Amino acid sequence: MPEDTVGIDLGVLTFVQDSDGRSVGRLDFSDERKRLEREQRSLSRKQYESNNWETQRRRVATVHARMSNKKRDYKHKLAHYYTTEYEAVFVEDLNVKSMLEASGNARNKAEVGWRNFSTILKHHGRKNECHVIEVEPSGTTKECASCGVETEKPLWVREHSCPSCGFELERDWNAALNIQSRGLENLGVVHSEATPVETATAVDTSEVSARRVVEAGSPALKESPKATSRAG
Ligand SMILES: [Zn+2]
């Protein structure tokens, strides 16, 4: 039975919020977008299918490729981290989640990224012998991780503040804790020694930038002794 488990909430504003309090940002593509605009503008001024046009078309393609490599690299590093650091990783079942959540341009784009990350996560799970388990996503945001009472929460409400038991936590962290509890239930673990909520209140959220993940290869703030011993 896995002891080290984590729930991951995939979000629109931040890419990942996990039940251990890590909030991992989205990649910043502002430089690449500027460059892309410039190269595309230049392409539009070239004579169609001329040699110059062809050279410029390749430049545009290079920027696109750089952006998708950066995304891919980022997701692989995150997936590697979670599947080596934990014995079980719980995520929401995206086939169900997509039907529940309101659609919109930002969300549709985010969803493509979530599906892709979920696939990468499962791949690393198999490789690193970590269970990657999908859980029922309905109500993970509304539900209080401490007492289970549901409260309506529009997207702009970033804090979970339970009217019933008074439990307060960042919105997505609360959701990640619910995802973790559901995953543990799926595995047949009903009572663990420390409930996720007790662990959560003991630490602060640590925000990790996407850039850090890309550069350091993981969202860990310090080199974890656990990760080191498993690697070695
Ligand atoms: Zn509550």
Delimit the domains of the chain by residue range.
5-25+74-231
Cα separation, 154 vs 158, in Å, equals: 9
Cα separation, 8 vs 183, in Å, equals: 10
Residue corresponding to tokens 């545009």: 60
3 state DSSP class of 72: helix
- pLDDT at residue 155, rounded to an integer: 78
Rounded to two decimals, the pTM is: 0.84
- pLDDT at residue 232, rounded to an integer: 35
Residues annotated as catalytic are: 9, 92, 172
Give the DSSP H/E element, type plus range, for residue 88.
strand 88-92
DSSP state of 150: B
**HSE of 62, CA atoms in CB hemisphere, 13 A:** 8
- pLDDT at residue 227, rounded to an integer: 42
| Helix locations, the chain, DSSP H | 30-45, 51-85, 94-100, 105-127, 171-186, 196-202, 210-216, 225-231
Cα separation, 54 vs 150, in Å, equals: 57
CA nearest to 27, candidates 208, 156, 221, 204:
208
- What's the CA angle centered on 183, arms 179 and 184, to 5 degrees? 120
Q: How far is the CA of 160 from the centre of ligand 1 (A)?
A: 9
Cα separation, 7 vs 134, in Å, equals: 10
3 state DSSP class of 53: helix
Q: How far is the CA of 165 from the centre of ligand 1 (A)?
A: 4
- Phi, psi for residue 192 in degrees, rounded to 5: -105, 165
Q: How far is the CA of 161 from the centre of ligand 1 (A)?
A: 8
* Cβ neighbourhood burial of 200 (10 Å; 0-12, 13-18, 19+): buried
Those residues of the chain that have pLDDT short of 70 are: 1-2, 96-107, 190-204, 221-232
Q: How far is the CA of 3 from the centre of ligand 1 (A)?
A: 25
Q: What are 76-126's pLDDT values in tens digits?
A: 999 999 999 999 999 999 876 655 555 666 667 778 888 999 999 999 999
